A and B are shown apart, each in its own frame.
Chain A
């Protein structure tokens, strides 16, 4: 089965998770107006083609709408939940510049992201073991430094109930 699309790398998880624009929770809708022809819209077109999948992957609850050939110059518009609208002019900018700009004004910065990550980590304790859904490891034998699973490495004689019982009977 051949790969789909002109740049199928855009569909890989690795590429998508490399996107670093995570919007603040007040951003609800993002609208992109751009033109399909013309040198001035080139950056906007590249942005739509390469960077919007990454943004949508990181912000699944933000609605993104694209409008083609409706205005003479390209721009982005963000609708926040307070009703505020933020206009970003992207004429004559490369797609990298556009992402940097957007990240600066409406993206969560690094320390916020790290803080959230830490909060998430606090909810679960990594040292416990149990069902795979809630813990990292299922059995104590998987933890490093503990007795390995007797299914793979037989237990030493002294730990086996059979031996212990035999010893007790002997004595």
Chain B
């Protein structure tokens, strides 16, 4: 039991020694390879990305500063004004020159590209081709115009013909009407001869009284008068 227990203890010790690479170390010791600076985030940044080391460490953002830092005055790093001026001026000139050069090169590249494009476009054969196509388009338009005029002409003719027809029909109708009316007038004229006017009233009455007519008769199926009553 005891040797078993010691064996177990030994095994545990060995295991603990054999796991120095476990992530459960203190952040300040830097035991894993590369030390504190080898922290690779789970996002697996690309190799060229700068790795930021957290500056806070033990305390959070909201903990108060330590008592020993009570009288601390944070000053910016000391700067020599002449050196600063000189350095700034030099940097300004350097950047000016560089940006001017870059702009120059960029403009040149663009210019070259544009010229190349224009040359490809405005070549002689292309213009020729364009003119030929425009001429063809004009012809097509002319053909369409001819077709349209033809169509319009036909439509006009059609319309004229229709109008003529209508006029003719109208005329015929008028004629028929006039004829009818004429016939009626003639008939009336005919009848007018037998009219009783105030002049021949007496004569007509005498005539009627002299010739009594018998309107009572019977007809058979063929329409012939069969019998006549005797006039009394």
Residues of A within 8 A of B (CB): 25-26, 73, 84, 86-89, 91-93, 101, 104-106
The verdict on B136 contacting chain A, using a C-beta distance below 8 Å, is yes
- Whether the pair B144, A105 counts as a contact (CB closer than 8 A) is no
- Whether the pair A86, B134 counts as a contact (CB closer than 8 A) is yes
Interface residues of B in 91-129 (CB under 8 A from A): 121
Among A92, A105, A106, the residue within 8 A (CB) of B148 is A92
A106 cross-chain contacts in B, Cβ below 8 A: 133
B78 to chain A, nearest CB (A): 45
- Whether the pair A105, B133 counts as a contact (CB closer than 8 A) is yes
Among B133, B136, B141, B151, the residue within 8 A (CB) of A89 is B141
A86 cross-chain contacts in B, Cβ below 8 A: 134, 137
- The residue in chain B whose Cβ has the minimal distance to the Cβ of A89 is B144
B147 cross-chain contacts in A, Cβ below 8 A: 92
Q: How large, as a class, is the contact surface on chain B?
A: 10 to 19
The verdict on B154 contacting chain A, using a C-beta distance below 8 Å, is no
The verdict on B145 contacting chain A, using a C-beta distance below 8 Å, is yes
Residues of B within 8 A of A (CB): 121, 133-134, 136-137, 140-141, 144-145, 147-148, 151
Q: Given A25-B121, A92-B147, answer yes or no on A105-B134 (Cβ-Cβ < 8 Å).
A: yes
- Whether the pair B134, A101 counts as a contact (CB closer than 8 A) is no
- Whether the pair B121, A88 counts as a contact (CB closer than 8 A) is no
- Whether the pair B144, A91 counts as a contact (CB closer than 8 A) is yes
B169 to chain A, nearest CB (A): 29
Q: Given A25-B121, A91-B148, A92-B148, answer yes or no on A105-B141 (Cβ-Cβ < 8 Å).
A: no
A92 cross-chain contacts in B, Cβ below 8 A: 144, 147-148, 151
B121 cross-chain contacts in A, Cβ below 8 A: 25-26
Contact sample, A vs B, 6 pairs, CB 8 Å cutoff:
A26-B121, A86-B137, A91-B144, A93-B144, A101-B137, A104-B133
- Whether the pair B141, A88 counts as a contact (CB closer than 8 A) is yes
A93 cross-chain contacts in B, Cβ below 8 A: 144
